[in-house]
Amino acid sequence: MSEGVRAESVLSGSPAGGSMTVDSAMAVPMEEYRRRLKGHEERAARLKAGQLWLGYVRLALVAGFLAAAWYGLFLREVPRWWVTVPMVLFVAVGVWLGRVSRRLGVERRAAEIYRLGMARVEDRWVGLEERSVGVLSAEVRGKVAASLYAGDLDIVGRGGMFELLCRARSRMGEETLLTWLLELAGVGEILQRQAAVEELRGRLEFRERMAVAGESVAVGVEAAALREWAAAEDVLTQRWMPWVAGVLAVVAGMLGVAVILLMAGGSMGPVGPGATSEAVGMLLVVLLAEAGVRRPFEKTMEAVLGGSDEALKNLQLLAALLEVMEGESFQSERLREIAGKLRSHAVAGSAAIGRLARLGEWRDSMDNMILKAVNLPLMYSVQVAWAVQRWRRRHGAAVGLWLEAVGEMEALLSLATYAYEHPGDVFPEFVEGEAALEAEAIGHPLIAATKCVRNSLRMGGETRVLLISGSNMSGKSTLMRTVGVNTVLAMCGATVRARRLRLTPLRIGASLVVNDSLQEGHSRFYAEIEKLGRICALADSCADGEGKNSGGGVMFLLDELLQGTNSKDRMVGAEGVVRALVEAGAMGIVTTHDLALAQMSGLAPGAMRNMHFQDEIVDGQMRFDFTLREGVAMKSNGVELMRLIGLKV
């Protein structure tokens, strides 16, 4: 990759690739979303009208039932069986109404999906689908806390990249996507993801079915609890128990029916006067036998059933997602791998999970008062506990694969949706060699397209550091975030906001947002140098003995380096940190207000290139063009800004 930096400003409305402008490219998803939204709204309106009409029919059938009962049962002017006609029709209409209501829910959810999609295309998406990291697993939260760039580059939080990208319905999908954003992949993995994203980009029907699967739009499925439960060892080892319990339940049921019939009047035929007492006695003996069989294993069964409470929540959503995935055929290698994880012992994952969901419902029904009354004679809890354990023994090993498959598919669908909604964005190109990056017309994906100003730059070869000077609010930090977040997207397999992006595999260390800590007693300066130490350690870990990045290139992004100390210490410290990073084979961007840093020494000739942003005051207002230029900034606007807001300086 060629060395140096080229400055070029391209407004978002100007060509971003070929002859298609960004505005005209965005019209494609907007038109398709608008067309689909209209179709779903029209179908929802028809279903709503049908739902209302069926409601009136049911009311009419209630009136018909009352009339038939009056004329048939009381006045006896019509046959009594007429009363069954409105009853049967009422049940049939109720079933029909249930189907219409479910379909109406699907149409409404689909319509909302396209409304949100249009909002994303029009840059109105912030806050509409907030994604909280706090509800994810402790492992993923730990990765966020340990990341050297997640907070600095707005990966997480309100209005961050995770919120913009994530379309997942399950916790697995959320955690997989966020992990991809935090743990940058190797080139082979990235290329597989790119191929999968390209294949999924135009599959709107598949994406829609995944988005509306299940009974609600809520995110569900407790993956961690389900994995732990599926991996647990069998605790019910008495294989004779379900057979004995089944026989005793049948005998108890038959005796119970006999007792009821005998007590109702001996409708079973001629019987002796002691037949009822004999049947009751036999039933009591069977119940005692059942209690004797069940009692030694009560705690074990409670462990099986109790441990399933969290694991068996929201499995209908998981089954629905698996069923949609099973109905698709794929071409790319990564998607075929995912499809290969969807079966267990020749049983479709959706069918197996559906069965487990029903077992969960049976488990929940044990709290019903009627079932509590017949639990012992029917050995209901015993049969459910053994059914749950049999399912786990047969399919438990596949649960992790199913969860992994759903998580990966949802993460890929999130990237594919983003690629579809931003057709002007491109896949990055990867090259070999020392850390390097070449960006043409690169822009920040979180800035509205109508406001985004793009720049072009290069790092690599002799040029290891871009030192960017400029006044407040001129665009220095935004440029670093632009480069950083697009690198994150590139390294997770997504498209990037650029006309072209060529780079080596890069790991990122950023110090843009640093805060003090009252709880830990750390000043901002201490927090900054602690983070700089971690970035230097990252670069050292990737460097071999000759200062070349053997473990993957490192790109550092340092905003207002060491501004929390005096100018002398700042100069010495900044030179030392940058020199150490460059000697370890890293490259990066440093921004500063301190023009003394522009004369940083200790680097090889040509290793640092000075760039700047500038501003001007027009009619008492500060104006910025956010265009990257060669050289050092020759003025600052701090005093002017203070005067503009009325400070007497």
pLDDT in tens, 90-144: 999 999 999 999 899 999 999 999 999 999 999 999 988 888 888 888 899 999 9
377, 298: one domain? yes
The CATH number of whichever domain residue 585 belongs to comes to 3.40.50.300
Look at residue 167 and tell me if it is in a domain. no
Look at residue 449 and tell me if it is in a domain. yes
As for how many domains the chain has, the answer is 3
Residue 278, helix vs strand vs coil: helix
Q: Are 419 and 490 in contact (CB under 8 A)?
A: no
413, 430: one domain? no
DSSP category for residue 73: I
Greatest CA span in the chain, whole angstroms?
Answer: 115
Average pLDDT rounded to a whole number, residues 423-446: 93
543, 623: one domain? yes
The answer, yes or no, to whether residue 417 has pLDDT greater than 50, is yes
Look at residue 399 and tell me if it is in a domain. yes
Question: Percentage of residues in the chain with pLDDT exceeding 70?
Answer: 80
467, 513: one domain? yes
Question: Could you tell me the two tokens for 503?
Answer: 């780079």
Last residue of a domain, one of 89, 122, 155: 122
State phi, psi for 328 to the nearest 5 degrees. -110, 150
pLDDT in tens, 309-335: 666 666 778 888 999 999 999 999 999
DSSP category for residue 247: H
Look at residue 400 and tell me if it is in a domain. yes
The pLDDT of residue 613: 83
Look at residue 288 and tell me if it is in a domain. no
596, 501: one domain? yes
231, 379: one domain? yes
478, 558: one domain? yes
First to last CA, the chain: 48
596, 490: one domain? yes
pLDDT in tens, 537-593: 998 888 764 445 445 689 999 988 777 677 777 778 888 888 889 988 899 999 887
416, 443: one domain? no
613, 626: one domain? yes
Q: Are 437 and 487 in contact (CB under 8 A)?
A: yes
Look at residue 317 and tell me if it is in a domain. yes
The pLDDT of residue 284: 80
Residue numbers of the domain that contains 370: 223-238+294-421
Q: Are 398 and 513 in contact (CB under 8 A)?
A: no
51, 101: one domain? yes
Q: How many C-beta neighbours within 10 Å does residue 161 have?
A: 24
Q: Are 457 and 5 in contact (CB under 8 A)?
A: yes
Last residue of a domain, one of 60, 93, 122: 122
Question: Could you tell me the two tokens for 408?
Answer: 């990966």
Last residue of a domain, one of 95, 122, 149: 122
The pLDDT of residue 618: 65
Q: Of the ranges 282-286, 467-471, 486-490, 626-630, which one carries the lowest mean pLDDT score?
A: 282-286
356, 488: one domain? no
